[in-house]
Amino acid sequence: MKQGIYYNNTDWTHKEVADLRVLLQYLSDRMYDEVRGSGLTYGVSMSVSVTEGRFSLSFSRSSRLFKAYSAVRDILARYSENPDAWDSTLLDSARGSVIYAWAEKEETVENLLSQAMKAYVRNTDTKYNRDFVYALGNTSTESIKNLATRILPAFLDPATTQTVIVCNPSAVEDLVEQFQDFDIPLTVIESLDQSFLVD
């Protein structure tokens, strides 16, 4: 399953991009512990593509997709509605993890050249990666909480999400019925000939 929402920013140098990366790491860690750790799905993650201006929520190889999705919705609601739900220690851990991941991108000469090329494609300065590491270190808990309050509710609103599920034919009917609980209407496509791909 993949669910997406639009993100009205394609500027890699925007101040909130660093906050976004830490926010998504924090949420992905919670999903890994609470959803994957409960055996509801093999893989679950959230990501953002600044280039495309899109957030994505992804599930992979899930035998209990509806329960997994319900658990993720609970996590998103918790952190968008209750500022006290955030754990400062876990947030520091998420921040450190993202800083390490971005600093590691310049570990070798080849990686350094790759980052310079990506900076060019993104229309940013060649030192973007280094500047971004500093920006990650300067993210604040309050700005991340405010960002969560502004962005996460869109994932809970069927009017602002696009949802796609690929599954075993035997599970289609149940999933269509279950997702109606969240007012998410699923259109069944039994053949590629009936899909948007032929338009």
Q: pLDDT (tens digit, 9 = 90+) per residue, 92-126?
A: 999 999 999 988 887 788 887 887 888 778 788 87
Rounded mean pLDDT, 164-186: 93
Domain contains 121: no
| Helices 16-31 and 128-137, axial angle in degrees (round to 10) | 70
Question: Where does residue 15 fall: left (phi above 0), alpha (psi -120 to 50 degrees), or beta otherwise?
Answer: alpha
Q: pLDDT (tens digit, 9 = 90+) per residue, 141-168?
A: 999 999 999 999 999 999 999 999 998 8
Cβ-contact 55, 3 below 8 angstroms: no
Give the whole-number percent of the chain exceeding pLDDT 90.
Answer: 69
Number of structural domains, the chain?
Answer: 1
The pLDDT assigned to 46 comes to 92
Rounded mean pLDDT, 38-42: 89
Counted residue by residue, the chain has a size of 199
Domain contains 130: no
76: containing domain = 2-93+143-198
Domain contains 159: yes
Domain contains 179: yes
Domain contains 105: no
The pLDDT assigned to 197 comes to 60
Domain contains 18: yes
Question: Where does residue 117 fall: left (phi above 0), alpha (psi -120 to 50 degrees), or beta otherwise?
Answer: alpha
In angstroms, the CA 108 to CA 90 distance is 30
Domain contains 60: yes
Domain contains 30: yes
Q: Give the CATH number for residue 82.
A: 3.30.830
Question: Please, what sign has the CA dihedral across residues 31, 153, 99, 17?
Answer: positive
The pLDDT assigned to 199 comes to 63
